[in-house]
Amino acid sequence: MANIKYKTLIGLEIHVQLKTKTKMFCSCPTGFGGEANTRVCPVCLGMPGVLPVMNKKAYEFSVLAALALNCNIARFTKWDRKSYYYPDLPKNYQISQYDLPMSENGYIEIPTDGGETKKVRILRAHLEEDAGKNSHATGNYSQVDLNRAGTPLLEIVTEPDLRNGREVRSLAQQLQRIVRYLGVSEADMQKGHMRFEPNINLVGEIDGKEFKTAIAEIKNLNSFRALERSVDYETNRQLEEYLETRKGMGQVPKTTRGWDADREITVHQRSKEAANDYRYFPDPDLVPVVLDDAWFEQIKSRMVELPLAKERKFISKYGLSEYDAGVLTSERSMAEYFEEAIEAGGDAKRVCNFITQTGLKLANEAGKSFVDLGIEAKKLAKLSQMVSDGDINASAATSLISKMVESDEDPMVLAEKFNLIQKSDTAELEAIVEQVFAENPQAVEDARAGSKKEKKSRGFLMGQVMQKTKGQANPKVVSGILAKKLS
């Protein structure tokens, strides 16, 4: 059997639709859905003689995203025509950026096993317009919807620093969180706001002889599951193909492949074009973009703390688990809500549990985000303090969260209204303990005897007190009374 050593080289191309109100070079509205070919005009339909005008907001969103990816931002960039014919591109060229992209040479950090991070280099991030959408589900002909044509699209290209499907998925998830935190994209993959195209090949040795497989690009993946599985499948496919044919890079052309989700395999589509096939040249209808200091500083002022940094802070500063910190930072609004509750005096771990164990369940049932449930952060902080002070127990707090969704009343008022305040009156609780002792003399004797039954008997007596108070006795106070009377 051959002695094989190899590693997988994976570079990722990511297309992110930007969250602007209008398209990249015209005033047609953006948005998902709608009747086909109704959000169009002569510009995005490619009519003769029309002139494009750049969307300033789209350019600013691109710069902001590139800053978050630690890229060098070009102060001068231009627009290029990328020529190719396809039904969803009516003018037969795409306005893009070629040799002078608006940003390049950055990096993104992704979490790895063991709490470490890996730095993945970003080759470039540039702005372009999206194409329309073809539909092939109508019988023996295809349909074209140009509503999406001209939508601002940020293309991010990584270096081949990724090694497997798990890492590729991690990068995609981190990038989704980043663009959502920045507010530059909704990044909803079901709506096509993010699409991924991994470029994959293998390098290694077989029986001491070096080999490289030809690069294959998997097109238009729009789910994390498809991304991870297609990368791992393609890795195995290339290895098996090379072992069978012994033909690699230079002997086999670059190809594009599609992902068949039903069979979970990649399928050949066509040979890959080279840059000269697109006949790039500067667009004569658009002026170059000059990013001066004042404009650049204004864009930079919108930068926020990014999700991975916030996640690390929640772990180190508040002692949260990696899992809980990841959940809380999955949405910027929820992470900021958590911090607001802590600043208002809430206990970090207790507030975290309120959100992750109860709040998210209620939000999921209501079809909303947690923040949209409408509970004020300062009121959740007060609820946390009520538990810490012994006013209510954890079970009552869970019940109150549900009631706080329905009412704007103060949590203490709600606790009193629904009779959830814990009994902490020592004299009252001592009387109840004496009653329990009188009714259960054997349990009292066993608890005092120091036998094997002591722990069980003490638990039984505690349970009897809680039963008589309908669960409203403060366990700490009752525990103290029991210890005193049994000693």
pLDDT digits (tens, 9 = 90+) for 240-281: 999 999 999 989 999 999 999 999 999 999 887 677 788 999
Same domain assignment for residues 385 and 451: no
| Model pLDDT, residue 425 | 56
Task: Assess if residue 406 is contained within a domain.
Answer: yes
CB 363 within 8 A of CB 369: yes
- Residue 11 burial (CB count, 10 A): 21
Considering the entire predicted model, what is its pTM? 0.86
Q: What is the Cα gyration radius of the chain?
A: 31
Same domain assignment for residues 412 and 323: yes
Task: Assess if residue 48 is contained within a domain.
Answer: yes
Inter-axis angle of helices 454-468 and 441-449, to 10 degrees? 140
Write the pLDDT tens digit of every residue in 114-169. Answer: 778 999 999 999 999 999 998 887 788 889 999 999 999 999 999 999 999 999 99
Domains identified in the chain, total number: 3
Same domain assignment for residues 285 and 325: no
Residue that is last in its domain, among 395, 417, 439:
417
Q: Which stretches of the chain score pLDDT less than 70?
A: 1, 273, 423-429, 451, 465, 471, 478
Task: Assess if residue 302 is contained within a domain.
Answer: no
CB 186 within 8 A of CB 147: no
Same domain assignment for residues 265 and 398: no
Torsion of CA 337, 323, 359, 314, to 10 degrees: -20
Same domain assignment for residues 311 and 276: no
Same domain assignment for residues 78 and 180: yes
Task: Assess if residue 214 is contained within a domain.
Answer: yes
Cα angle: 143, vertex 146, 150; to 5 degrees: 150
Same domain assignment for residues 268 and 331: no
Residue that is last in its domain, among 261, 294, 327:
294
Same domain assignment for residues 213 and 244: yes
Domain that holds residue 462: 426-486
Task: Assess if residue 475 is contained within a domain.
Answer: yes
Task: Assess if residue 334 is contained within a domain.
Answer: yes
